[in-house]
Amino acid sequence: GAVVSQHPSWVICKSGTSVKIECRSLDFQATTMFWYRQFPKQSLMLMATSNEGSKATYEQGVEKDKFLINHASLTLSTLTVTSAHPEDSSFYICSARDQPYEQYFGPGTRLTVT
Amino acid sequence: DAKTTQPNSMESNEEEPVHLPCNHSTISGTDYIHWYRQLPSQGPEYVIHGLTSNVNNRMASLAIAEDRKSSTLILHRATLRDAAVYYCILDQTGANNLFFGTGTRLTVIP
């Protein structure tokens, strides 16, 4: 099956700094990628949908200036958490779609802001 | 977004079949029913999806009620590796934005 990777798998950063997370589709081209956030013992929450070459569409309540998404190619999307604070600590998961009705998820990135 | 309702948790003995129910009474005619599962500290894994007819694949079977207001994911022989949170999700055709509910935590007892 299709493989989606994320880098880094975990990151610790200081409050006020920015962190970039990469999401790559390894063996297929993804016209659409999705970013989710998951807090401990909670379900996944969709943050934004990104289409290659266009601006991301953010879900209600997600600050687009804080969570910068770039989908510059058909195999790479990045999420940058700007001026991170402890409340941004979470498990960030991306997914990619190569055809309708099937999404492939990355392994996730655990962000800890100290 | 159309909502799904699942039991919070279920248990099964190893090597026995497991039936995971999902209610989606507000489903629309073009909503696909997706099932994903998530192991601890991992991203979700696709299990199966369907529209109206029952579906089978190497991982599981999906039984969809005739009125489509409910569905059941069937694991034919549970193994310890099947212990996970199982999510039943409705996918509005064309959007493919998956909105996860709380899911069912499956515990497999050796």
Question: What is chain A's pLDDT, residue by residue, as a tens digit (114 residues)?
Answer: 689 999 999 999 999 999 999 999 998 888 889 999 999 989 999 999 988 888 899 999 999 999 999 988 889 999 999 999 999 999 999 999 876 667 899 999 999 999
Average pLDDT along chain B: 91
**Mean pLDDT computed over B2-28:** 93
Contact yes or no for A43 and B102 at CB 8 A: yes
B1 touches chain A (CB under 8 A): no
Query: What average pLDDT is seen over chain A?
Result: 92
Contact B100 A106 (CB under 8 A): no
Task: Give whole-number Cα distances, A78 to A20, A24, A72, B37, in Å.
Answer: 7, 9, 9, 24
C-beta atoms of A104 and B96 within 8 A: no
Out of B32, B94, B101, name the one closest to residue A43 (CB).
B101
Cβ–Cβ gap B87/A102 under 8 Å: no
CB of B43 within 8 Å of any CB in chain A? yes
Helix, strand, coil abundance in chain B, percent, nearest 5: 5, 50, 50
